Amino acid sequence: MTVVAPPAERQATPRTRRSPRTLLLGLAAVLFGMLVWTLLSLAGVQSLPNPPQVAAKAGQLIADGTLLQDALASLRRVLLGFALGTLLAVPVGFLMGWYPTARALLEPYVQFFRTIPPLALIPLAVVLLGIGEVPKIFVIFLAAFLSSVVATLQGVVDVDRTLINAARVLGASDRTIFLKVVIPASTPFILVGMRVGLGSAWGTLVAAELIAATQGLGYRMQQAQLYYDLPTIFVGLITIGVLGLAMDRLLLLAERRLTGWQERR
């Protein structure tokens, strides 16, 4: 008799087999990047610092607490802006996707502001909100919101009509259809939108910290630029990349947990 493994087991096996290979490929990519970086610095490309110089600078900034303070300040701004943007984007996206009237009223504004880079709103944010933390968080919030709201809207719009019609035939109410069909089916879109929004939030951070900041990775990099301190700039870039990558991996883990029913390659 042939024993057929449950779907979860059939999916888990390939993932387990691919995991070591994926880790090795990732490690090889990092080592290759370090090699290219070292060769470019040895070739004297624009006075590019080599990895040991950057590591020494990172050790110095860690020892005096500067890097930790800057990283925490930037992380706080990104988390606040990203969280606020996502919390508002998801219900607005559901509203626009579920109700055509709401979509007709709100979509022109969403699409209009999507064409305006959040960085272009910094002067307006300074005039209206001052030079404290609020304008910094606002531009990060806007970057995260616009990415997430469009993804949520698309997720609701792309829900298979067959599922909705089948639920109606079985007597499900609109509330039940929304909770049991629309939300689960649009969850992958929402999580992808969150990942894109997180990238936009980190991408906006450096410019946001132009607004009268005294701490932050972007602020430190701008100060280093004035003194042509390339190792400090590299430390800031690498720190932003590592923090952003770690947060993205957490979102990816949440995506796999929440959308385990979804077929993956």
Count the Cβ atoms, other than its own, within 10 Å of residue 165: 11
Pick from 77, 79, 66: which is nearest to 224 by CA?
A: 66
Contact (CB, 8 A) for 161 and 221: no
Count the Cβ atoms, other than its own, within 10 Å of residue 39: 11
Pick from 176, 159, 152: which is nearest to 92 by CA?
A: 152
C-alpha 204/C-alpha 137 separation (Å) is 10
Domains annotated for the chain, with CATH where assigned, are 53-258 (1.10.3720.10)
Q: Per-residue pLDDT tens for 5-49?
A: 444 444 444 443 457 888 888 788 888 888 888 888 877 766 788
Q: Which helix (H) or strand (E) holds 151?
A: helix 133-157
Contact (CB, 8 A) for 191 and 251: yes
From first CA to last CA, the distance across the chain in angstroms is: 29
Residue 182: alpha-carbon gap to chain centroid: 23
Q: Per-residue pLDDT tens for 176-225?
A: 888 888 888 888 888 888 999 898 898 888 888 877 778 889 889 988 88
More confident residue, 74 or 165: 74
Contact (CB, 8 A) for 106 and 95: yes
Confidence (pLDDT) at 263: 60
Confidence (pLDDT) at 262: 62
Contact (CB, 8 A) for 164 and 176: no
pTM listed for this prediction: 0.81
pLDDT band for position 264 (cuts 50, 70, 90): low
Average pLDDT over residues 99-117: 89
